[in-house]
Amino acid sequence: MMKSLKIGLIGTGYMGKAHAIAYRNAMAAFGIPHDQLECEMLAEVDEDLAKQKAREFGFKRATGDWKALVQDPDVDLVDICAPNFLHKEMALAAIAAGKHVYSEKPLALNAEDAKEMTQAAEQAGVKTSVGFNYIKNPTLQFAKELIDRGDIGEPVHFRGVFNEDYLADASLPFSWRLQQEYAGSGALNDLASHLVNLAIHLVAPITSVCADLKVVYKLRPLAGDSQKTGQVENDDQAHMMVRFANGAQGTLEASRIAWGRKNGLSFEITGTKGSLVFDQETLSELSLFMAGDDPQTQGFKRILVGPEHPDYQAFCVSAGHGLGFNDIKAVEVRDLYEGIVNNKPLWPDFRAATQVNIILDKVVESHANNAWVDVEQYDGEHK
Ligand code: NAD
């Protein structure tokens, strides 16, 4: 059995920093000894930046060449926090070198690439994990428990929204996120991917989709030369109706231009015996309505998550104090560690993330054909 897990982190931007924080937090919160989860090596676009970030994040070594990190004999796990278009090349190289892989979402630009990555990982027998972090929140772990034990009956409807305003200002410059070659789809790949993964986890597999996508701001000024513009190639807004395998219906929407929404992931699940409501902007609260309650005092109950709920106590012994985004990343890292070092089930892995990519491709197809499209359930065969 592997006694320690040595991390090689690629990319130190928004998510790279969140992962670096999560390794430290996971050790402190979950009692993982520091000699069992080691921040071994870090890669960035150039050596100076890599060295600077290694000092800040507490990694032992740094390189300006991610391929050197992947090949390094002292790296057990390659953690990919680079832009979407690099995930495939980096993951395939890591898998070929026999490394476990932790990739940020979306796993790939499209389902074909995701299948290739999954097949490679499964053939090599390495473990994989994908950063669909929101489902690691103790609040949503508890929501899943409530649903699984039947407290709200059989889910019949899922209404999910993931709106942010990071591109709401039309004068914000053109970037890799707006080009299909580098990002794939837009709000769909970036935001709705989380929502799709979450809906599958909480309700059931998605079996068909009917979608509408829109690029609202078609041109953006080029960074460094605002007189010139770049053509936006992917959706600012994504809407879809979905059908679930258990017969439930759903509506999912995502926007990157929704003024005022900062981490606006929210959902409402209606069951035959009650409802659940969640808003990521108040991530340690869950609202529960139970049809069986006394009609006179019936209403949505506001549950503040505390030590009685999954994983909360690792961070705080007092209820209602609330966790944050970086805490749920630490839960993700704890699962990663347990999955690799103690061979526990690891989810969502590349296979689960491939199912998300399959659905996102079907959303694009549905929009193009103006029609409902059936969704295949991934069987692991790469065609
Ligand atoms: P970012 O631009 O902030 O950071 C990307 C980093 O990768 C940069 O530091 C960049 O220098 C580095 N990089 C680029 N090319 C590289 C190369 N060839 N070698 C080494 N480093 C390289 O981007 P981000 O927002 O951190 O996004 C990274 C990934 O994380 C994306 O796939 C994105 O979808 C995902 N993401 C996930 C969440 C989440 O909630 N799970 C949130 C935001 C972003």
The token pair at 335 is 């699962």
Residue 2 predicted with pLDDT over 60: no
CATH tag, 5-132: 3.40.50.720
pLDDT of 288 > 60? The answer is yes
Q: Whose CA is nearest to atom 41 of ligand 1?
A: 131
Q: Which atom of ligand 1 is nearest to the CA of 131?
A: 41
Name, in order, each residue with C-beta under 8 angstroms of 261's C-beta and a sequence gap of 6 or more: 163, 164, 165, 255
pLDDT in tens, 33-65: 999 999 999 999 999 999 999 999 999 999 999
State how far the Cα of 109 lies from the Cα of 82, in Å rounded to an integer.
Answer: 13
Cβ < 6 A, ligand 1 pocket: 10-16, 43-45, 66, 81-84, 86, 104-105, 131, 133, 190
Same topology between domain 5-132 and domain 134-374: no
Asked if 213 and 368 count as a contact pair (C-beta separation under 8 A), the reply is no
CA of 89 to the centre of ligand 1 (A): 14
Across the strands, what pairs with 304?
285
Best residue for ligand 1 mutational test, from 41, 49, 56, 104 (most atoms within 8 Å of Cβ): 104
Q: How far is the CA of 250 from the centre of ligand 1 (A)?
A: 30
pLDDT at site 383: 41
How confident is the model over 111-123, as a mean pLDDT? 98
Cα separation of the two ends of the chain? 34
Give me ligand 1 centre to Cα 104, in Å.
8
- With CA atoms as reference, report the closest residue to 381 among 118, 101, 107: 118
**94-110 residue pLDDT tens:** 999 999 999 999 999 99
Question: What single-letter DSSP state applies at residue 93?
Answer: H
Q: For residues 110-137, give the mean pLDDT.
A: 98
Domain made up of 134-374: CATH architecture: 2-Layer Sandwich (3.30)
Instruction: Classify 107 as helix, strand or coil.
Output: coil
Minimum CA distance residue for ligand 1 atom 2: 13
Mean pLDDT of the region 234-250: 98
Atom of ligand 1 nearest to the CA of 87: 32
Distance 50 CA to ligand 1 centre (A): 14
* Cα-to-centroid distance, 202 and ligand 1 (Å): 27
As a whole number, the mean pLDDT across the chain is 97
With vertex at residue 197, the alpha carbon angle to CA 23 and CA 366, rounded to the nearest 5 degrees, is 140
What is this structure's pTM?
0.97
Give the length of the chain.
383
Three-state SS at 300: coil
Handedness of CA 57, 60, 64, 67 (dihedral sign): negative
Atom number of ligand 1 nearest to Cα 16: 26
- The answer on pLDDT for 379 being more than 90 is no
Q: So where are the chain's domains?
A: 5-132, 134-374
User: Above 60 in pLDDT, residue 227?
Assistant: yes
Instruction: Say if residue 333's pLDDT is above 50.
Output: yes
Averaged pLDDT, 285-302: 97
How many A from CA of 325 to the centre of ligand 1? 16
Q: What is the mean pLDDT of residues 319-340?
A: 97
pLDDT band at 380 (very low <50, low <70, confident <90, very high): low
Mean pLDDT, to the nearest integer, of 14-35? 97
Please write the tens of the pLDDT for every residue from 161-187. Answer: 999 999 999 999 999 999 999 999 999
The C-alpha atoms of residue 278 and residue 7 are separated, in whole angstroms, by 33
pLDDT band at 280; cut points 50, 70, 90: very high
Atom of ligand 1 nearest to the CA of 49: 11
Contact 207, 254 (CB under 8 A): no
81 C-alpha vs ligand 1 centroid, how far in Å? 5
